[in-house]
């Protein structure tokens, strides 16, 4: 059983296969630990909170890809309220 080390909401964690869970943990840890490797050398260094969000989103997309669950729509929330919706090609 793969541990939910990064506190993914249980509802979503249980939707992913064991392989997708392992991919989430691995990708999140790798991306979060390597902002200099993942960013352009001339780009400003991201703030830790912002980089954590980038790492989380990359890991989530990777986990969804393992189970062939790539999003077709992104909903932007602000304090739990929907403030935007965008279709993804």
The residues spanned by each domain of the chain are 10-87
Output the pLDDT for position 50: 94
Phi, psi of 87 (to 5 degrees): -75, 145
Q: What is the pLDDT of residue 18?
A: 96
The 10s digit of each residue's pLDDT in 35-66 is 999 899 999 989 999 999 999 999 999 999 99
The whole-number pLDDT of residue 89 equals 63
pLDDT value of residue 2? 93
DSSP 16: S
The per-residue pLDDT for 38 is 87
Report CA dihedral (18, 39, 46, 88) to the nearest 10 degrees. -60
């Amino acid at each position: 059983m793969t541990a939910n080390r990064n506190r993914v909401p249980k509802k979503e964690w249980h939707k992913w296969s064991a392989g997708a869970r392992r991919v989430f943990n691995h990708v999140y840890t790798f991306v979060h630990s390597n902002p200099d490797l993942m960013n352009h050398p001339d780009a400003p260094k991201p703030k830790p909170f912002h980089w954590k969000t980038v790492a989380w989103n990359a890991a989530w997309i990777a986990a969804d890809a393992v189970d062939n669950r790539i999003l077709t729509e992104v909903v932007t929330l602000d304090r739990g309220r929907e403030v935007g919706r965008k279709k993804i090609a």
